[in-house]
A and B are shown apart, each in its own frame.
Chain A
Amino acid sequence: MLAYVVRRILATIPVMLVVAFVVFSMLMLAPGDPAAVIAGDQATPEDVERIRQALGLDRPFFVQFADFLWRLLHLDLGTSIFTNLPVTHMIAQRIEPTLALMVLTIVLAVSVAVPLGVLAAWKAGSWIDRGVMLFAVFGFSVPVFVVGYVLAYFFALEWELLPVQGYTPLREGFFPFLENLILPAIALGTVYIALIARITRATMLEVLAQDYIRTAKAKGLGMGPILFLHGLKNAAVPISTVVGLGIALLIGGAVVTESVFAIPGLGRLTVDAILRRDYPVIQGVVLLFSFVYVLINLLIDLLYILFDPRIRY
């Protein structure tokens, strides 16, 4: 098992190298002179030259990439073209709201979606089941910013129950913090809930058809223990896989949600960086999110060993 863990951890290294290479080379693969594109239409030749040198674009491709990797290993993501601050510094300033939003969304989504999916599978074919499936279809179809605006319109503008926009750090109290984040978390979580509820329902339907579930029923076990101890535990592997993979959706959605609700997080940083064509910042955020995504999924892979003792590699 230890060998498996080590092998699995080592297997992420080529993946991360590819991620670094893709993020790095995107600027080079793009048509036209990247320095000119970043400088924009109103730039003077001096501006273009300055950006070319700042990004090291005047050196050979693989020299640049090796240098990029070397700096990456020292946790150096380069310097912003716009603010001249280290990208890591800018990310550190903006990471708290995004982290809070993501964690709240994941907790909220899992605790809503899993019971919904279990219920739908248990009462397969009933109106609850149809309702959950219908919600799933809508969840996949209504984009995150539409959900965000609708929620904000009713809960904040019409009924004045919650603040419209903004962010309050956790250290200023848990309730103000939660008040500001709950609508964004619901908006961001909608598609994630749809995803998890659907896979939970599908896996539970399979599990509930197994012989040991019939045995559990026959020996007089209540529906609660059957569903959640015997059933859910055996459905945990596919569900947690989707929870991990779905984080990609959350990361993409967070960029938009932060724009809708004016949350000063990494998403806002990205959007600002796009408008300023601040490529090092975009590169840094994409790299950070991708590495976190890879690590979370690695962790979930390793958790399988706990969920399912049959897994022996």
Chain B
Amino acid sequence: MSQNTAVAAAPAAVELFAEEPQRGHIRTFLRRHPSIVLGGTILALMVAIALLAPYLWTTDPQALAPRLRVRPPSAEFWFGTDMLGRDIYSRVLYGTRVSLIVGFSVAILASLAGLAIGLISGFIRLADGIIMRVMDGLMSIPPILLAIALMAATRGSVENVIIAITIAEIPRVSRLVRGVVLSLREQPFVEAAIAAGTTTRRIIIRHILPNTLAPLTVQATYICASAMITEAILSFIGAGTPPIIPSWGNIMAEGRALWQVAPYIVFFPAVFLSLTVLSVNLLGDGLRDALDPRMAKRL
């Protein structure tokens, strides 16, 4: 029987791993998916910056120097200083940490929660109606507003930012997983597995779960990108990361009042944020093309 199920699952597995880099094919893979390479490289660079921030010629990002207020970029202060005399270069580099932590955490948490909810919804008809009504309701609240309202009800902290953005992202993942589950349930290989007497548990683990991985991974990268933007927006309008922590949104919020005389305060975090989000989006587009050629054709 286990042989049966393995054969039945085979077509999906082949499709999923068809373009995986195998030995000797790495160069072909890189050439075929330039956006994965470009996005991956920039993202790896940002991860390196986040990890190595203390060693990259930075000073204390919180160190005040009132006499060195609002200095334009120079040899001493590469990105200039803000209105409290803090070194923007150091603050921007340390800010990478906040963005990446929020982006990655939200992507992982929202994917896991969405996966669980989507699976339950796709398999238990009784729960499906209720869960999907709740998800419809949550989806009707624009994500940024939902996150703002959640943040307004709690204290500002990185953890709460992550939770608020995750809640705002869950409905979309759940819908995606549910859709995949419902269409897979009609597939001959799942019907065959049911006919062969496979338990529901085993069907979910062996047949459904592996097939949700590809679209879920792609979705997770997009969630990561949008979570980074949402974090910056929340911090920018004062509903996100507490001002004491240097995040790109916070640095821009502090530069807002001065942006006409000292545009570099806003400029440098903006460039880093855009570049990071761009790299994640490129990675997502590349993964989509590589993992799911059918979906790639449609978009």
A residues with CB within 8 A of B? 14-19, 21-23, 26-27, 29-32, 34, 37, 137-138, 140-146, 149-150, 153, 157, 164, 198-199, 202, 206, 247-249, 251-253, 255-256, 259-260, 270-271, 273-275, 277, 279, 282-283, 285-286, 289-290, 293-294
Residue on A nearest B226 in the bound complex, by CB:
A140
Q: Is the CB of B149 within 8 A of A146?
A: no
Residue tally, chain B, CB below 8 Å to A:
46
Chain B contact surface mostly: helix
Q: Is the CB of B155 within 8 A of A37?
A: yes
Taken together as a complex, chains A and B put the C-alpha atoms of A32 and B155 apart, in Å, by 9
Shortest Cβ distance from B130 into chain A, in angstroms? 10
Shortest Cβ distance from A181 into chain B, in angstroms? 19
Residue on B nearest A294 in the bound complex, by CB:
B140
Q: Is the CB of A143 within 8 A of B274?
A: yes
Given A138-B278, A274-B239, A149:B263 Cβ within 8 A:
yes
Q: Is the CB of B137 within 8 A of A283?
A: no
Shortest Cβ distance from B172 into chain A, in angstroms? 10
Identify the interface centre among B141, B150, B266, B282: most chain A CB within 10 Å of its CB.
B141
Q: Is the CB of B143 within 8 A of A248?
A: yes
Taken together as a complex, chains A and B put the C-alpha atoms of A286 and B137 apart, in Å, by 13
Shortest Cβ distance from A234 into chain B, in angstroms? 16
B residues with CB within 8 A of A? 133-134, 136-138, 140-146, 148-155, 225, 229-230, 232-233, 236-239, 252, 256, 259-260, 263, 266-267, 270, 273-274, 277-278, 281-282, 285, 298-299
* Given A14-B136, A23-B141, A199-B299, 20 further pairs, Cβ under 8 A: A18-B136, A19-B137, A22-B141, A26-B150, A34-B153, A137-B278, A143-B274, A145-B236, A145-B270, A164-B260, A249-B142, A252-B230, A252-B233, A255-B144, A256-B233, A259-B256, A289-B145, A290-B140, A290-B145, A293-B141
Q: Is the CB of A289 within 8 A of B142?
A: yes
Given A157-B260, A271-B237, A275-B238, A19:B150 Cβ within 8 A:
no
Q: Is the CB of A143 within 8 A of B273?
A: yes
By a CB distance below 8 angstroms, the chain B residues around A30 are 150, 153-154
Q: Is the CB of A153 within 8 A of B149?
A: no
Q: Is the CB of A271 within 8 A of B137?
A: no
Q: Is the CB of B138 within 8 A of A279?
A: no
By a CB distance below 8 angstroms, the chain A residues around B152 are 273-274, 277, 279, 282
Question: Could you write out 23 A-B pairs with CB less than 8 Å apart?
Answer: A18-B140, A22-B141, A29-B153, A30-B150, A137-B285, A140-B277, A143-B270, A143-B277, A145-B233, A146-B270, A146-B274, A149-B263, A247-B142, A251-B142, A252-B143, A252-B144, A255-B145, A255-B233, A270-B145, A271-B238, A271-B239, A274-B239, A283-B149
- 9 tightest A-B contacts by CB? A18-B137, A252-B144, A141-B278, A30-B153, A248-B142, A251-B142, A146-B270, A141-B277, A274-B239
Shortest Cβ distance from B46 into chain A, in angstroms? 13
Residue on B nearest A198 in the bound complex, by CB:
B299
Shortest Cβ distance from A164 into chain B, in angstroms? 7
By a CB distance below 8 angstroms, the chain A residues around B140 are 15-16, 18-19, 290, 293-294
Residue on A nearest B273 in the bound complex, by CB:
A143
Given A30-B153, A146-B270, A252-B233, A141:B143 Cβ within 8 A:
no
Shortest Cβ distance from A240 into chain B, in angstroms? 17
Taken together as a complex, chains A and B put the C-alpha atoms of A145 and B270 apart, in Å, by 9
Taken together as a complex, chains A and B put the C-alpha atoms of A293 and B144 apart, in Å, by 13
Identify the interface centre among B153, B230, B232: most chain A CB within 10 Å of its CB.
B153
By a CB distance below 8 angstroms, the chain A residues around B150 are 26, 30
Q: Is the CB of B274 within 8 A of A141?
A: yes
Residue on B nearest A275 in the bound complex, by CB:
B238
By a CB distance below 8 angstroms, the chain A residues around B136 are 14-15, 18
Q: Is the CB of B238 within 8 A of A274?
A: yes
Taken together as a complex, chains A and B put the C-alpha atoms of A146 and B282 apart, in Å, by 19
Shortest Cβ distance from B236 into chain A, in angstroms? 6
By a CB distance below 8 angstroms, the chain B residues around A34 are 153
Taken together as a complex, chains A and B put the C-alpha atoms of A23 and B278 apart, in Å, by 32
Shortest Cβ distance from A14 into chain B, in angstroms? 5
Q: Is the CB of B153 within 8 A of A37?
A: yes
CB contact between A18 and one of B138, B153, B229, B232 (< 8 Å): that residue: B138
By a CB distance below 8 angstroms, the chain A residues around B146 are 22, 286
Q: Is the CB of B138 within 8 A of A145?
A: no
Shortest Cβ distance from A150 into chain B, in angstroms? 8
Residue on A nearest B133 in the bound complex, by CB:
A14
